[in-house]
Chains A and B, each alone.
Chain A
Amino acid sequence: MSVHTWLTDTPLEVADVLARVGTHEDGAVALFLGTVRRSNAGRDVVGMRYDAYLPMAERVLAAIAAEALERMGEGSVAAAHRVGEVPLGGASVAIAVASPHRAEAFDACRYVIEEIKVRLPVWKLERYTDGTEAWLGGAPPPAPEPAETAS
């Protein structure tokens, strides 16, 4: 049982997350990469810049991965997210989940990316071929948990 999460300003490789999951008890490793695609809302994209509220993003990403592991009950989770410039085709997020069985691995991997999309305090500035750029509207961050408002 292990969780490894981080944000980084250097290019993400599949091996970075794969190396941090899996034991001889596992029979499945699910891997997800999010990549920068060419076309978004009809405009040609040359790259993205990811900005993060870094200390909070590190905490939230660790919490998401811990929740994924809890859903599985056994196995391991690694998740890394980029900050800074990511070119077209580059990976913005990499997730690896190892589990004794594939269903749990796929489920946990899906959980991590879906929660990242709605909870991780990260923003992207999309750059276009015509030299313009725009902050992408994303998901409204979630309502706080009651326990988190008490402080």
Chain B
Amino acid sequence: MARSPLGRWADERQPADDYYPTSYGRQNAYPPDDYPDELVPEQRPTVDYQPEQRPADDDYQPKQKPAKSRVDEWMEVDFKFGGSRIKRKAVALILLGAPAIAPLFFMLPALVTLNSNTFATSVDDTLGTGAEICLFLCLLVTPLAMITGQHWFVPLRRWYGIMMACSAIGDATAAGITDDFAGGVFGRLAGHVFELMGFMMVLLVIPVLITSNAWAQRKLGRYWKRLQQITYVIWGLLAAHLVLLEGLGVQSGENGSGFAGDGDPVFHQRFYQYSVCSLFLLTLRLPPVKRWIAAQQKEGRNWLVYLTITPLFALFVFGFAFIITEEIFKGLDSFTENPSAE
């Protein structure tokens, strides 16, 4: 029996994490089954189907687009700017998406002047940290859409993913040229285990980047989503990269990780930052948690969801703030070509 791509058996339901709401009022360019089940709880089968009891495929209804929230509707409204009409959503997306260019922008003067010293000293801090920020922002979109019920910012996920890939590839390219590790280009890229992790991340991000477009999505069909889930492997490799780079401890004197000068080495430990940010992102991706949230939302207890996730989100913000701070300081140093070697 051919299975409809629009319906899945309850026990086959994939841990749908990413979904691709289309622009409202337009034809959906994405496969309907990419919507998270949690957003259409009313359509989830409530019976335990046996093979012989399966209804005909025709009985399945395609999952509907999630209902528009009031914010989504507000974002869809045009306003007049100059001689043209612009959607509020477009402005908001540009404002939220523009900072993702910052890491590449910070390295631009060094690139224009071919300043190998700046590249050798701070490209890893500027572009590497930038890639980490973009990865977290990319991973943040889905949980936020699930919690808030808003979808106007979902296009940012692709944008942040693309910028993450560009920053990571830029970091690896510069490291391969300017680092002073022995062993030629390969030695500079993979001569140490932490570098090997980073190199693998870059290798994996390339197919994700190449297929991050609607054409590739159509061509790859159901495999597209699997391919894009390589992002999770990259997320895991980043943990290995940071642990091998920084260790698990904090700086003492001039040894270890984290800048000692400000008296807060714990907050500057990159693996700690990664961990506290990932706790929020990972927990809200666990299928039972998603189902619990959907159940609370269905019963009108969204306040309970917000209350429960507040500490997790606070911790995420806590860790992310230090990553952002580092990116700004190191990035500005790179931009002025006075690279910081801290």
User: Are A and B genuine complex partners?
Assistant: no
Q: A residues near B, CB below 8 A?
A: none
Q: B residues near A, CB below 8 A?
A: none
